[in-house]
């Protein structure tokens, strides 16, 4: 199992480039199921979740070429015949976003068989809202040996039907999954209380380019007029706002002068406002942000995670690493997932002073951090440990970095390019 070895203390200097958004790329790849034509996606990040999605689509009979036409970040997908519309447990268990194929599979083939995702480290993460929405559109759902089987009306021969769907709770992949089901449904579908994340808007832009009729993506009400077929297209994935945010914090925590390039500052509003409030100096350009700190101490500030455009839960762990370096007490409230504080124990082992009560963590700063052997537990928790290691005294060893490889493209190479001392090791303890 790969590890990172990080020696802290170097301020990050120079320009670091942001990749395409994993969380946009995943639904956009699933959207290719909706047409038998070729869909070309640009700016696809080279991360493990994308390789998992490639395997998933290929296992159903799709042609998927990552790095198409010798362009590393271009992907070609052609779902000519989907001979096996099944998302197998072996794949779903490693990537919960596999449930995103449910809506497009039923819409295109009339049937889908998808392994039920279990809980994961950050919480139970049910998909009941996806299922409820599909049922409202006329799908018949049955369960069998851990699999969910869905059929469109008339035993899979008819089309899904437009419906009025009010989400009880805002769900990002739920909105995306049902949007993909609705574009080929008969009649109009109105969704209320939708997720407004930029990844939903990105997916809608792709679907519209494929011939779908969608209004209101990016707002809480989305209207879809179903069409009978979609065609191929070419689409460029948005920059990854979470990777960009992680780099902003890397610049701030290391006391550097870092230019975070190829990002979309419009998607980072809540984080930018919070960092500026703490005393981080940011120069926001059209597609880049320069981050500087180090002159004066950072001031503690509370955060409360919310759906977009609020403070993203996917930035909570990274912010907490920075909060350990602020003067004063920051209260961090996690409102989206019930168990998203697994980085706390590891940050405390590095010398942080963080206490957790329910969904609230209290960070008392500023704490000098020390290197330690730490364990990555999920994607964003791992990022927070890398950030802490950048300022820790000595050499931190991060175990299980496969979590970080799920969603960050060669993060160690990018950080090394701006002066961090970080290297990947096959297995520093010589274990298998
Ligand atoms: C997506 C992101 C993830 C991010 C999260 C919240 C992708 C691939 N993943 O995950 O990185 O952390 O949004 O911004 O885009 N819920 C239900 N029933 C459902 C669906 C969700 O109760 O059917 C609950 C979840 O357990 C959670 C909340 O709703 O408490 C929000 O989850 P959701 O927005 O669906 O997260 P994901 O789409 O899985």
How many angstroms separate the CA atoms of 148 and 170, rounded?
22
| 100 and 7 inside one domain | no
| 226 and 261 inside one domain | no
The domain tally of the chain equals 2
| 191 and 152 inside one domain | yes
Cα(348) to ligand 1 centroid in Å equals 27
| 230 and 294 inside one domain | no
DSSP 18: -
By CB atoms closer than 10 A (0-12, 13-18, 19+), residue 274 is middle
| 278 and 229 inside one domain | no
| 341 and 279 inside one domain | yes
- In the sheet with 421-425, reading across from the earlier edge strand, the strands are 373-375, 395-399, 3-7, 421-425
Pocket test residue of 117, 173, 196 for ligand 1, highest count of atoms within 8 A of CB: 173
- Please say if 120 is a catalytic residue: yes
Mean pLDDT of 38-43: 98
Ligand 1 and 125: CB distance under 6 A: yes
Nearest to residue 217, comparing CAs of 185, 239, 235, 195?
195
Ligand 1 and 22: CB distance under 6 A: no
pLDDT digits (tens, 9 = 90+) for 72-125: 999 999 999 998 999 999 998 888 888 999 999 999 999 999 998 866 676 777
Domain end among 176, 202, 236: 236
For ligand 1, atom 33, the nearest C-alpha belongs to 171
Neighbouring C-alpha atoms within 13 Å toward the C-beta of 359:
13
Ligand 1 and 122: CB distance under 6 A: no
Residue 129 lies in a domain: yes
pLDDT of residue 426: 82
Question: What is the radius of gyration, based on Cα positions, of the chain?
Answer: 22
pLDDT of residue 395: 97
| 45 and 156 inside one domain | yes
Residue 417 lies in a domain: yes
Domain housing 215: 22-236
pLDDT digits (tens, 9 = 90+) for 264-289: 999 999 999 999 999 999 999 999 99
DSSP-based helix, strand, coil % in the chain, nearest 5: 35, 30, 40
Domain of residue 322, CATH code: 3.65.10.10
Is the pLDDT assigned to residue 432 strictly greater than 70?
A: no
Domain end among 206, 236, 266: 236
pLDDT digits (tens, 9 = 90+) for 1-15: 899 999 999 999 999
Pocket test residue of 172, 181, 310, 341 for ligand 1, highest count of atoms within 8 A of CB: 172
Cα(250) to ligand 1 centroid in Å equals 26
Residue 327 lies in a domain: yes
Mean pLDDT of 197-216: 98
pLDDT of residue 298: 96
Mean pLDDT of 200-224: 98
Nearest to residue 46, comparing CAs of 425, 407, 431, 421?
407
| 174 and 291 inside one domain | no
DSSP 62: -
Ligand 1 and 128: CB distance under 6 A: yes
Q: Which band of pLDDT confidence, cut at 50, 70 and 90, is reported for residue 427?
A: low
For ligand 1, atom 3, the nearest C-alpha belongs to 314
Residue 431 lies in a domain: no
Question: Phi and psi at residue 188, in whole multiples of 5°?
Answer: -100, 140
Cα(9) to ligand 1 centroid in Å equals 36
Total residues found in the chain within this entry: 432
Pocket test residue of 23, 45, 102, 125 for ligand 1, highest count of atoms within 8 A of CB: 125
Residue 430 lies in a domain: no
Residue 432 lies in a domain: no
How many angstroms separate the CA atoms of 225 and 413, rounded?
45
| 200 and 286 inside one domain | no
Whole-number percent of the chain with pLDDT over 90 = 90
Cα(104) to ligand 1 centroid in Å equals 18
Domain end among 184, 211, 236: 236
pLDDT digits (tens, 9 = 90+) for 336-348: 998 899 999 999 9
Nearest to residue 182, comparing CAs of 155, 201, 204?
204
Mean pLDDT of 204-231: 98
Cα(243) to ligand 1 centroid in Å equals 18
Considering only residues 334 and 120, tell me which one the structure prediction assigns the higher pLDDT: 334
| 90 and 176 inside one domain | yes
Average pLDDT, the chain: 95
The DSSP H or E segment spanning 13 is: strand 13-17
| 194 and 60 inside one domain | yes
| 327 and 183 inside one domain | no
Displacement of CA 98 from its chain's centroid (Å):
13
For ligand 1, atom 39, the nearest C-alpha belongs to 173
């Amino acid at each position: 199992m790969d590890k990172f070895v990080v020696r802290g203390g170097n301020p990050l200097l120079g320009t670091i480039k942001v990749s395409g958004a994993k969380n946009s790329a995943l639904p956009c790849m699933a959207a290719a199921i909706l047409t038998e034509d070729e869909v070309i996606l640009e700016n696809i990040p080279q991360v493990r979740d994308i390789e998992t999605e490639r395997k998933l689509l290929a296992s159903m009979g799709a042609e998927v070429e990552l790095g198409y036409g010798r362009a590393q970040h271009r992907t070609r997908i052609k779902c000519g015949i989907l001979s096996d519309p099944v998302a197998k447990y072996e794949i779903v268990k490693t990537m919960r976003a596999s449930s995103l194929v449910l809506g497009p599979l039923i819409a295109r083939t009339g049937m889908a068989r998808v392994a039920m995702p279990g809980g994961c480290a950050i919480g139970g993460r049910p998909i009941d809202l996806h299922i409820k929405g599909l049922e409202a559109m006329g799908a018949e759902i049955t369960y069998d040996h851990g699999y969910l089987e869905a059929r469109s009306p008339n035993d899979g021969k008819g089309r899904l039907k437009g419906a009025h769907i009010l989400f009880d709770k805002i769900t990002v992949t739920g909105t995306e999954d049902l949007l993909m089901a609705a574009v080929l449904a008969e009649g109009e579908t109105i969704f209320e209380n939708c997720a407004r994340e930029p990844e939903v808007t990105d997916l809608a832009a792709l679907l519209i380019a494929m011939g779908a009729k969608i209004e209101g993506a990016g707002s809480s009400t989305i209207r879809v007029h179903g069409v009978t077929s979609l065609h191929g297209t070419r689409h460029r994935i948005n920059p990854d706002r979470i990777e960009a945010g992680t780099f902003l914090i890397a610049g701030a925590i290391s006391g550097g002068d870092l230019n975070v390039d190829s990002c979309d500052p419009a998607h980072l509003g809540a984080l930018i406002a919070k960092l500026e409030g703490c005393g981080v100096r940011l120069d926001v350009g059209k597609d880049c942000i320069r981050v500087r700190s180090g002159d004066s101490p950072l001031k503690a500030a509370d955060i409360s995670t919310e759906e977009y455009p609020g403070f993203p839960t996917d930035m909570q762990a990274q912010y907490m690493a920075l909060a350990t370096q602020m003067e004063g007490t920051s209260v961090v409230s996690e409102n989206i997932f019930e168990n998203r504080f697994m980085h706390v124990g590891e940050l405390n082992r590095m010398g942080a002073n963080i206490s957790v009560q329910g969904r609230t963590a209290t960070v008392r700063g500023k704490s000098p951090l020390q290197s330690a052997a730490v364990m990555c537990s999920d994607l964003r928790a791992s990022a927070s440990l890398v950030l802490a290691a950048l300022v820790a005294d000595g050499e931190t060893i991060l175990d299980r970095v496969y979590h970080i490889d799920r969603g960050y493209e060669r993060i160690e190479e990018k950080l090394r390019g701006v002066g961090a001392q970080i290297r990947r090791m096959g297995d520093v303890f010589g274990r298998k």
